[in-house]
Amino acid sequence: MNGSRAVVELLEGQKVEVLFGIPGGVLLPLYDELVETEMRHILPRHEQCAAHMADGYARVAKRPGVCIATSGPGATNLVTGVATAFMDSSPLIALTGQVATGVLGNDAFQEADSFSLMMPITKHNFRVTDPKTLPEAMKRAFLIATTGRYGPVHVDLPIDILQGEIPDDAMKKTVRVPKPKRNLSGLLDAIKLLEGAERPTILIGGGVSWSRAGPEIAQLADILMAPIATTLMAKGAIPEDHPLVLGVCGMHGRQVANYALNNCDVLLAIGTRFSDRVTGNLSEFGKNTKIVHVDIDSSEIGKNVKGRVGLVGDAWTVVNALIAGLLKRKKKSTWKDRIIELKKECACDYNLRSDPIKPQKVIHELSDLLPEDAIVTTEVGQNQMWAAHFFRCHGKRMFITSGGLGTMGFGFPAAIGAKVARPESVVADIAGDGSLQMVSQEFSTAVENDIPVMICLLNNGWLGMVKQWQKHFYGSRYLATELGRSPDFVKLAEAYGAEAIRIEKHSEVAEAIKRGTKSDVPILLDFIVDPEEDVLPMTPPGKSSAEWIKGRCEWKGGVK
């Protein structure tokens, strides 16, 4: 068979059900073969969004999403989406077309060195220059993406390889990749530290979400009587109505979660890389704390924060080993009781009934009205932090966001991918007007492919988070942050064939959300929110939690 037919059969062999891609000249042999397949192909309006859609799909389906782009500008447009997946450890297969191998390096039409561009933002990178190596590259790509720490893999496909002949024996060849080595040599030391702890605390990161170890960590927390703080990427990994789950910590986190991190004597960190948004002033973080760090990637152990014990392995396996070692342990509940009391103090009323609408009011109503299996995606900026801080992620709800790279425009296409992966769930993107304008063309994708997602736009007319930093750290000297009131988002969405509503009064918020959850077409809810409302509390960059900016927060627990 030819290379294009081989790619299709190899994708089908990996049980791929959907592809997100934009064709181009060098990909026409492949797309001609796709005509005959039952795999669903979704045509985004921009290659970056193809990657974000595949990423959103992967985070819900827990298997690789596949995106396709042509050579040259198609591949370069794909880069931001692939980098987003890389930073958040999301399994992605990025297929790019390429000019023929005979003219590589000759500046042929739409040639770009996508192999080199993808090198620093993928787990592995293939350029197929011999037809007989194509099947191995495709098979290995899927294995690498989901072995060890998840991540994107890129396969560059020159047009002559897609047209070339693939030997039958190459298609039948079995492929393996090395499994990551576990290192649990410090397990007994970790158990002793946790047994001796008076104020143990658990910090969970995105690795917990991927390994689906939430129930086991909740069991471990009950054994240790330890509170659980989450990073942005772990929000929802354990339902937030669990009495020991304190919510998101860090720069815009809940103060009770930051209190627990700063006042524990032993910190068990699972599947997190200790981002600067979590630690704040790195030299001050954990100075008086013994840290047990669990991660599937050995390079993360001790990279940002030095710990007493490092355990290398996937979260589910290591947590079960810790449970087995601690099962008979009985601890005093003094620390647990203290944290539960402080958690009550940190439960503020954010059902703000005033006009102009406060963003917190929108998040409050979403928390109350979205179904228990809803999926929430976010853009990046103030909208993201309001959602992280105030949205209640309980039941089977999922929270999907761009954490490591902080990519504006992620949420809308990711919502489309998430809805494709789980069509029976309500999928809502909490958006800002700056982010949405970067990807608004994808209303066309949602409408044409009958993907009914709900866009909850917190429209304040500014690049809100940048404005907030200019306000607090640069003397309110505003430049290049005011967006104004163009476009009219309702007319824009309607022009694409979506439904749209503008909401300007707090009394209209709940009814609009109810209507949105019942819509069987893509719908935009344009909430006109107060442009002067900041996302607070906030720990300034590079500072400790003791130097936080309070805002409306009524927290009185304090941070030592």
276 has pLDDT over 60: yes
Question: How many other C-beta atoms can be found within 10 angstroms of the C-beta atom of residue 174?
Answer: 6
- Each residue's pLDDT tens digit, 408-419: 999 999 999 999
- Each residue's pLDDT tens digit, 485-499: 999 999 999 999 999
In what helix (H) or strand (E) does residue 312 lie, and over which residues does it extend?
strand 309-312
pTM over 0.85: yes
238 sits in the region (left: phi over 0; alpha: psi -120 to 50; else beta) called beta
The predicted pLDDT at position 558 comes to 55
In what helix (H) or strand (E) does residue 448 lie, and over which residues does it extend?
helix 442-448
The predicted pLDDT at position 356 comes to 97
Q: Which CATH architecture has domain 3-172?
A: 3-Layer(aba) Sandwich (3.40)
The predicted pLDDT at position 560 comes to 41
Tokens of 23: 């064709």
319 has pLDDT over 60: yes
Polymer length in residues for the chain: 560
Report residue 284's pLDDT band, with 50, 70 and 90 as the boundaries. confident
- Each residue's pLDDT tens digit, 527-558: 999 999 999 999 998 888 778 899 999 888 75
Report residue 505's pLDDT band, with 50, 70 and 90 as the boundaries. very high
Report residue 306's pLDDT band, with 50, 70 and 90 as the boundaries. confident
- Coil vs helix vs strand at 346: coil
- Coil vs helix vs strand at 527: strand
Q: Are 377 and 429 in contact (CB under 8 A)?
A: yes
Q: Which of 236, 517, 514, 245 is nearest to 396 (CA)?
A: 236
For residue 456, how far is the Cα from the chain centroid?
18
Pick the CATH number of 359-528 from 3.40.47.10, 1.10.645.10, 3.40.50.300, 3.40.50.970: 3.40.50.970
φ, ψ dihedrals at 116, nearest 5°: -70, -35
- Each residue's pLDDT tens digit, 47-92: 999 999 999 999 999 999 999 999 999 999 999 999 999 999 999 9
Report residue 269's pLDDT band, with 50, 70 and 90 as the boundaries. very high
Q: Name the DSSP class of 302.
A: T
559 has pLDDT over 90: no
The predicted pLDDT at position 34 comes to 98
Where are the CATH 3.40.50.970 domain residues in the chain? Answer: 3-172, 359-528
Residue ranges in 103-238 assigned as alpha helix (H): 114-118, 134-145, 159-163, 168-172, 187-196, 206-211, 214-224
Burial call 3-28: b when 16+ CB within 10 Å, e when fewer: bbbbbbbbbeebebbbbbbbbbebbb
The predicted pLDDT at position 165 comes to 97
- For residues 192 and 252, give the distance between their C-alpha atoms in angstroms, rounded to a whole number: 33
- Each residue's pLDDT tens digit, 138-173: 999 999 999 999 999 999 999 999 999 999 999 999
Report CA Rg, the chain: 24
Q: Name the DSSP class of 238.
A: S
Q: Are 61 and 90 in contact (CB under 8 A)?
A: no
Over range 322-338, report the average pLDDT.
Answer: 89
- For residues 99 and 22, give the distance between their C-alpha atoms in angstroms, rounded to a whole number: 16
6 has pLDDT over 60: yes
- Each residue's pLDDT tens digit, 13-52: 999 999 999 999 999 999 999 999 999 999 999 999 999 9
Tokens of 294: 């669990």
Using a 10 angstrom Cβ sphere, with 0-12 exposed, 13-18 middle and 19 or more buried, the burial of residue 113 is: middle
Annotate 69-134 with DSSP letters as a single string: E-TTHHHHHHHHHHHHHHHTT--EEEEEEE--GGGTTS--TT---HHHHHGGGSSEEEE--SGGGH
Report residue 287's pLDDT band, with 50, 70 and 90 as the boundaries. confident
Where are the CATH 3.40.50.1220 domain residues in the chain? Answer: 187-345
Kindly report the CATH number that applies to the domain delimited by 187-345: 3.40.50.1220
